[in-house]
């Protein structure tokens, strides 16, 4: 099986030993507390599940700046985005041991315990330098920039021991999986070559066929459909609706035991190319050998070029920084000429009228009125789930 990023074995930060975890939870009640923001909490969940291997906790300012500017820590570890705990709370001191509390669960239970190695002030200028490198823009209308620049000017760094997976395990018991669990399941399947498909949206025919194309061209043993379960921008479809739609599509249209439908506990960054590289890092940690990177992967609006998320792997990711490889996908759509879904780059003789193309807005309007999109665009079983959701919104 492919090695994790940066180490021979996966080192998740979740405390799996029940006695030790109970002892730490008891200790946490005696410790000073810090209420995390959602971004820092999501980082803790990802560290706990082994997704951000080989990190042992939150980065300090020097590493965060180095990662933002050069995609590696001061010591040379390749990493595409800073994994930080920024806060407005200035009451924490270096050398202390604190309980990190979950902002996304009622009662703010303990999420992790942190040994605070450093407490550093981050200037607005440094925040902007990092944001511009990560998001390629400082436009406050960009949802990722708006979140990142508002996280606070105090940075806490140091190792953490994770004691909970927040709401992800309880709200999505059939879907949320850690990198550890996904690796184990891949091993149980006996899969060697595994293709990951990242999604924050329901999957229509084009996405479904793209998974098939990748699997066939790479002669892969299986597909990991891996959906984001954390916070999204307003207007995006909730995770539980997406989950139901994707599961129905896999159940009806894929051979048994060829697809794993799973999810991970992270908030969407909308960082385009940088987030695509982060996706590659944690899919390698899951045991995947390939990641499908399509047009405008992890993008939003018009902030990134259509294929920037692919060219970053050529232009900025050092050779051998990752063992995982990417599968480059063009825009896919149903061809009326060929009666199948194709990558547009593979059919230069086609014009726009030869494809079934619908905007997201048009599809939402159809679904809201109970009108199913054409079957060439969306499977009827998927359309029904989405239509029920949109009609309930308008009711």
Q: Is 334 helix (H, G, I), strand (E, B) or coil?
A: strand
Token pair of 385 as six digits = 């789930």
**Whether pLDDT at 395 is above 70:** no
In a domain, 76, yes or no: yes
356, β-bridge pairs? 334
In a domain, 180, yes or no: yes
* Helix residue ranges per DSSP H, 205-272: 205-218, 239-253
CA–CA dist 113, 134 (Å, integer):
28
Give pLDDT tens digits for 71-118.
Answer: 999 999 999 999 999 999 889 999 999 999 999 999 999 999 999 999
Distance of CA 88 to the CA centre of its chain: 25
Cβ contact 178:49 at 8 Å = yes
Q: How crowded is the C-beta side of 393, counted as CA atoms within 13 Å? A: 17
Same domain, 112 and 239: no
Give pLDDT tens digits for 55-68.
Answer: 999 999 999 999 99
**Marked catalytic residue, from 21, 108, 201, 247:** 201
Rounded mean pLDDT of 354-364? 82
Same domain, 26 and 124: yes
> Which domain, by its residues, includes 374?
173-394
CA–CA dist 107, 97 (Å, integer):
21
Q: Is 11 helix (H, G, I), strand (E, B) or coil?
A: coil
Known catalytic membership, residue 328: no
Rounded mean pLDDT of 341-355? 91
Residue 198: CATH number of its domain: 3.40.50.620
Cβ contact 41:104 at 8 Å = yes
Supply the mean pLDDT for the chain: 95
152 φψ region: left (φ > 0), alpha (ψ -120 to 50), beta (else): left
Same domain, 232 and 261: yes
Same domain, 358 and 209: yes
**Marked catalytic residue, from 97, 200, 247, 364:** 200
Same domain, 276 and 300: yes
What pLDDT is stored for residue 394 in this prediction? 74
Same domain, 160 and 180: no
**Whether pLDDT at 235 is above 80:** no
Known catalytic membership, residue 201: yes
Q: Report which DSSP code applies to 39.
A: H
Q: Which of 197-211, 228-242, 244-258, 316-330 has the lowest mean pLDDT?
A: 228-242
Indicate the number of domains in the chain. 2
What pLDDT is stored for residue 364 in this prediction? 80
Give pLDDT tens digits for 3-49.
Answer: 999 999 999 999 999 999 999 999 999 999 999 999 999 999 999 99
Same domain, 165 and 179: no
Place of tokens 């006695």: 19
Q: Which of 134, 152, 169 delimits the end of a domain?
A: 169
Place of tokens 């990142």: 148
In a domain, 8, yes or no: no
Residue 98: CATH number of its domain: 3.10.400.10
DSSP element (H, E) containing 280: helix 273-286
In a domain, 187, yes or no: yes
In a domain, 6, yes or no: no
């Amino acid at each position: 099986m492919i090695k994790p990023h940066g180490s021979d074995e996966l080192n998740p930060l979740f405390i799996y030993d029940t006695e030790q975890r109970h002892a730490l939870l008891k200790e946490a009640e005696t410790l000073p507390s810090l209420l995390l923001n959602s971004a820092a909490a999501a980082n803790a969940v990802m560290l706990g599940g082994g997704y951000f291997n080989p990190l042992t906790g939150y980065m300090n300012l020097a590493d965060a700046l180095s990662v933002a500017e050069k995609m590696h820590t001061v010591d040379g570890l390749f990493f595409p985005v800073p994994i930080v705990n920024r806060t407005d709370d200035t009451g924490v001191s270096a050398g202390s041991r604190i309980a990190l509390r979950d902002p996304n669960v009622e009662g703010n239970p303990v999420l992790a315990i942190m040994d605070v190695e450093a407490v550093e002030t981050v200037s607005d200028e440094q925040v902007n330098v990092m944001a511009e490198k990560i998001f390629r823009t400082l436009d406050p209308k960009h949802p990722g920039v708006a979140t990142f620049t508002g996280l606070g000017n105090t940075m806490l760094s140091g190792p953490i021991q994770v004691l909970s997976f927040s709401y992800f395990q309880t709200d999505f018991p059939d879907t949320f999986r850690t990198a550890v669990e996904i690796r184990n399941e891949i091993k149980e399947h006996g899969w060697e070559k595994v293709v990951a498909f990242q999604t924050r949206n329901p999957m229509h025919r084009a996405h479904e066929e793209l998974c098939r194309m990748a699997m066939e061209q790479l002669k892969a043993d299986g597909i990991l459909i891996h959906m984001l379960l954390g916070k999204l921008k307003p207007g995006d479809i909730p995770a539980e609706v997406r989950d139901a739609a994707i599961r129905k599509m896999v159940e009806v249209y894929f051979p048994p035991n060829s697809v794993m439908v799973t999810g991970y506990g992270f908030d969407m960054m909308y960082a385009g190319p940088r987030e695509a590289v982060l996706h590659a890092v944690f899919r390698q940690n899951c045991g995947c050998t390939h990641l499908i990177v399509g047009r405008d992967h992890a993008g939003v609006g018009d902030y990134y070029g259509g294929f920037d998320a692919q060219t970053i792997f050529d232009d900025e990711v050092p050779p051998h920084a990752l063992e995982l490889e990417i599968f480059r996908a063009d825009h896919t759509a149903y061809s009326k000429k060929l009666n199948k879904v194709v990558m547009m780059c593979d059919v230069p003789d086609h014009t726009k009228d030869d494809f079934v193309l619908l905007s997201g807005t048009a599809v939402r309007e159809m679904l809201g009125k109970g009108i199913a999109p054409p079957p060439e665009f969306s499977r009827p079983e998927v359309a029904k789930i989405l239509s029920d959701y949109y009609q309930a919104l308008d009711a």
